[in-house]
Structure 1
Protein backbone atom coordinates (compact mmCIF):
# COMPACT_ATOMS: atom_id res chain seq x y z
CA UNK A 1 0.00 0.00 0.00
CA UNK A 2 1.54 3.21 -1.17
CA UNK A 3 1.13 6.71 0.14
CA UNK A 4 -1.33 7.52 -2.66
CA UNK A 5 -3.55 4.63 -1.54
CA UNK A 6 -3.53 5.93 2.01
CA UNK A 7 -4.40 9.46 0.87
CA UNK A 8 -7.20 8.18 -1.37
CA UNK A 9 -8.54 6.02 1.46
CA UNK A 10 -8.64 9.02 3.78
CA UNK A 11 -10.45 11.11 1.17
CA UNK A 12 -13.05 8.38 0.71
CA UNK A 13 -13.51 8.00 4.48
CA UNK A 14 -13.93 11.77 4.96
CA UNK A 15 -16.54 11.86 2.18
CA UNK A 16 -18.32 8.94 3.86
CA UNK A 17 -18.31 10.70 7.23
CA UNK A 18 -19.66 13.88 5.59
CA UNK A 19 -22.57 11.86 4.17
CA UNK A 20 -23.30 10.46 7.63
CA UNK A 21 -23.24 13.95 9.16
CA UNK A 22 -25.76 15.12 6.54
CA UNK A 23 -28.30 12.56 7.79
CA UNK A 24 -30.99 13.51 10.33
CA UNK A 25 -29.87 13.23 13.96
CA UNK A 26 -31.74 9.98 14.73
CA UNK A 27 -30.21 8.33 11.66
CA UNK A 28 -26.74 9.46 12.74
CA UNK A 29 -27.19 7.96 16.19
CA UNK A 30 -28.34 4.60 14.83
CA UNK A 31 -25.59 4.60 12.17
CA UNK A 32 -22.89 5.20 14.78
CA UNK A 33 -24.24 2.38 16.95
CA UNK A 34 -24.35 0.08 13.93
CA UNK A 35 -20.81 1.05 13.00
CA UNK A 36 -19.54 0.31 16.53
CA UNK A 37 -21.31 -3.03 16.53
CA UNK A 38 -20.03 -4.01 13.10
CA UNK A 39 -16.45 -3.11 14.02
CA UNK A 40 -16.77 -5.41 17.04
CA UNK A 41 -18.35 -8.26 15.06
CA UNK A 42 -15.62 -7.78 12.49
CA UNK A 43 -16.60 -8.67 8.94
CA UNK A 44 -13.27 -8.92 7.17
CA UNK A 45 -14.20 -6.60 4.31
CA UNK A 46 -15.83 -3.93 6.48
CA UNK A 47 -13.23 -1.15 6.03
CA UNK A 48 -12.95 -1.56 2.24
CA UNK A 49 -16.25 -3.20 1.39
CA UNK A 50 -19.60 -1.88 0.33
CA UNK A 51 -21.43 -2.46 3.64
CA UNK A 52 -21.00 0.92 5.36
CA UNK A 53 -21.60 3.01 2.22
CA UNK A 54 -24.59 0.78 1.47
CA UNK A 55 -26.05 1.52 4.90
CA UNK A 56 -25.64 5.25 4.28
CA UNK A 57 -27.35 4.88 0.88
CA UNK A 58 -30.21 3.01 2.56
CA UNK A 59 -30.50 5.66 5.27
CA UNK A 60 -30.41 8.53 2.75
CA UNK A 61 -33.27 6.92 0.81
CA UNK A 62 -35.26 6.39 4.03
CA UNK A 63 -34.71 9.96 5.17
CA UNK A 64 -35.71 11.30 1.75
CA UNK A 65 -38.92 9.26 1.96
CA UNK A 66 -39.67 10.77 5.37
CA UNK A 67 -39.39 7.49 7.26
CA UNK A 68 -38.04 7.18 10.77
CA UNK A 69 -34.84 5.21 11.15
CA UNK A 70 -36.50 2.55 13.32
CA UNK A 71 -39.06 1.98 10.58
CA UNK A 72 -36.14 0.90 8.39
CA UNK A 73 -34.06 -1.19 10.80
CA UNK A 74 -36.53 -2.16 13.50
CA UNK A 75 -36.04 -1.85 17.22
CA UNK A 76 -33.32 -4.52 17.44
CA UNK A 77 -30.46 -2.84 15.63
CA UNK A 78 -27.98 -5.62 16.51
CA UNK A 79 -30.22 -8.23 14.89
CA UNK A 80 -30.46 -6.03 11.79
CA UNK A 81 -26.64 -5.85 11.67
CA UNK A 82 -26.33 -9.60 12.19
CA UNK A 83 -28.61 -10.17 9.20
CA UNK A 84 -26.42 -7.88 7.10
CA UNK A 85 -23.24 -9.84 7.83
CA UNK A 86 -24.59 -13.36 8.32
CA UNK A 87 -22.86 -14.72 5.21
CA UNK A 88 -19.70 -12.64 5.50
CA UNK A 89 -16.50 -14.13 6.90
CA UNK A 90 -15.46 -12.47 10.16
CA UNK A 91 -12.18 -12.23 12.02
CA UNK A 92 -13.66 -14.64 14.56
CA UNK A 93 -14.16 -17.19 11.76
CA UNK A 94 -10.55 -16.78 10.64
CA UNK A 95 -9.39 -17.22 14.23
CA UNK A 96 -11.52 -20.33 14.71
CA UNK A 97 -10.18 -21.78 11.47
CA UNK A 98 -6.62 -21.13 12.59
CA UNK A 99 -7.27 -22.96 15.86
CA UNK A 100 -8.87 -25.94 14.14
CA UNK A 101 -6.03 -26.23 11.64
CA UNK A 102 -8.26 -26.04 8.58
CA UNK A 103 -6.57 -25.47 5.22
CA UNK A 104 -6.18 -21.83 4.32
CA UNK A 105 -6.05 -20.86 7.97
CA UNK A 106 -4.02 -17.96 9.18
CA UNK A 107 -0.94 -19.15 11.05
CA UNK A 108 0.44 -21.53 8.45
Structure 2
Protein backbone atom coordinates (compact mmCIF):
# COMPACT_ATOMS: atom_id res chain seq x y z
CA UNK A 1 0.00 0.00 0.00
CA UNK A 2 1.15 3.52 -0.59
CA UNK A 3 0.87 6.37 1.83
CA UNK A 4 -1.76 9.00 1.01
CA UNK A 5 -0.39 12.03 -0.76
CA UNK A 6 -0.61 15.21 1.28
CA UNK A 7 -3.11 17.79 0.08
CA UNK A 8 -4.28 21.00 1.71
CA UNK A 9 -2.93 22.11 5.09
CA UNK A 10 -0.70 19.60 6.88
CA UNK A 11 0.85 20.29 10.28
CA UNK A 12 4.48 19.39 10.98
CA UNK A 13 5.24 20.23 14.60
CA UNK A 14 4.51 23.93 15.01
CA UNK A 15 4.66 24.62 11.27
CA UNK A 16 1.85 24.33 8.75
CA UNK A 17 2.46 23.47 5.07
CA UNK A 18 0.06 23.93 2.17
CA UNK A 19 0.33 21.05 -0.31
CA UNK A 20 -1.11 21.05 -3.80
CA UNK A 21 -0.43 18.71 -6.71
CA UNK A 22 2.07 16.65 -4.63
CA UNK A 23 4.14 19.77 -3.93
CA UNK A 24 4.56 22.05 -0.96
CA UNK A 25 3.57 25.52 -2.15
CA UNK A 26 3.49 27.49 1.11
CA UNK A 27 4.52 27.20 4.72
CA UNK A 28 3.61 29.05 7.90
CA UNK A 29 6.33 28.88 10.55
CA UNK A 30 6.49 30.44 13.99
CA UNK A 31 9.90 31.79 14.90
CA UNK A 32 11.75 34.07 17.27
CA UNK A 33 10.57 37.19 15.39
CA UNK A 34 6.93 36.15 14.88
CA UNK A 35 5.16 34.20 12.17
CA UNK A 36 6.84 33.80 8.78
CA UNK A 37 4.94 32.78 5.64
CA UNK A 38 7.08 31.23 2.92
CA UNK A 39 5.68 30.86 -0.61
CA UNK A 40 7.25 28.23 -2.84
CA UNK A 41 4.79 28.36 -5.73
CA UNK A 42 6.98 30.67 -7.72
CA UNK A 43 9.94 29.54 -9.78
CA UNK A 44 11.84 26.74 -8.08
CA UNK A 45 14.76 28.90 -6.98
CA UNK A 46 12.64 31.78 -5.71
CA UNK A 47 10.89 31.88 -2.36
CA UNK A 48 8.82 34.78 -1.11
CA UNK A 49 8.87 35.47 2.64
CA UNK A 50 6.42 37.70 4.49
CA UNK A 51 5.49 38.22 8.14
CA UNK A 52 2.08 37.62 9.65
CA UNK A 53 0.44 38.55 12.95
CA UNK A 54 -0.62 34.96 13.67
CA UNK A 55 -0.77 31.48 12.20
CA UNK A 56 -4.40 31.81 11.09
CA UNK A 57 -3.67 35.11 9.32
CA UNK A 58 -0.63 33.56 7.65
CA UNK A 59 -2.66 30.57 6.47
CA UNK A 60 -5.43 32.78 5.04
CA UNK A 61 -2.89 34.98 3.26
CA UNK A 62 -1.08 31.94 1.83
CA UNK A 63 -4.34 30.40 0.60
CA UNK A 64 -5.37 33.55 -1.26
CA UNK A 65 -1.91 34.34 -2.63
CA UNK A 66 -1.36 30.82 -4.00
CA UNK A 67 -4.93 30.45 -5.29
CA UNK A 68 -4.65 33.69 -7.27
CA UNK A 69 -1.44 32.54 -8.95
CA UNK A 70 -2.02 28.82 -9.43
CA UNK A 71 -5.70 28.76 -10.39
CA UNK A 72 -5.91 31.85 -12.58
CA UNK A 73 -9.32 32.63 -14.03
CA UNK A 74 -11.17 30.84 -11.22
CA UNK A 75 -13.07 32.99 -8.72
CA UNK A 76 -10.93 33.42 -5.61
CA UNK A 77 -13.34 31.70 -3.21
CA UNK A 78 -13.58 28.61 -5.44
CA UNK A 79 -9.82 28.60 -6.02
CA UNK A 80 -9.14 28.63 -2.26
CA UNK A 81 -11.60 25.78 -1.75
CA UNK A 82 -9.86 23.83 -4.51
CA UNK A 83 -6.46 24.30 -2.86
CA UNK A 84 -7.52 23.40 0.66
CA UNK A 85 -10.12 20.67 0.07
CA UNK A 86 -9.09 17.14 0.89
CA UNK A 87 -9.41 14.78 -2.08
CA UNK A 88 -12.43 12.53 -1.88
CA UNK A 89 -11.77 8.96 -0.90
CA UNK A 90 -12.82 6.32 -3.42
CA UNK A 91 -16.35 5.11 -2.86
CA UNK A 92 -16.80 1.68 -1.37
CA UNK A 93 -18.24 -0.75 -3.90
CA UNK A 94 -21.89 -1.63 -3.39
CA UNK A 95 -22.46 -5.01 -1.84
CA UNK A 96 -24.64 -7.40 -3.80
CA UNK A 97 -27.75 -9.05 -2.36
CA UNK A 98 -25.84 -12.32 -2.14
CA UNK A 99 -23.03 -10.71 -0.14
CA UNK A 100 -25.52 -9.06 2.22
CA UNK A 101 -27.31 -12.38 2.73
CA UNK A 102 -23.98 -14.10 3.45
CA UNK A 103 -23.10 -11.41 6.00
CA UNK A 104 -26.49 -11.82 7.71
CA UNK A 105 -26.14 -15.60 7.86
CA UNK A 106 -22.61 -15.33 9.23
CA UNK A 107 -23.67 -12.94 11.97
CA UNK A 108 -26.59 -15.23 12.88
CA UNK A 109 -24.26 -18.23 13.01
CA UNK A 110 -21.85 -16.40 15.30
CA UNK A 111 -24.51 -15.48 17.85
CA UNK A 112 -24.39 -17.36 21.12
CA UNK A 113 -27.35 -19.61 21.96
CA UNK A 114 -30.06 -17.71 23.81
CA UNK A 115 -29.23 -14.34 22.14
CA UNK A 116 -31.68 -12.64 19.84
Q: What is the TM-score normalised by the length of structure 1? A: 0.28
Larger radius of gyration: 2
Structure number with greater CO (CA < 8 Å, separation at least 6) is 1
Q: What is the TM-score normalised by the length of structure 2? A: 0.26
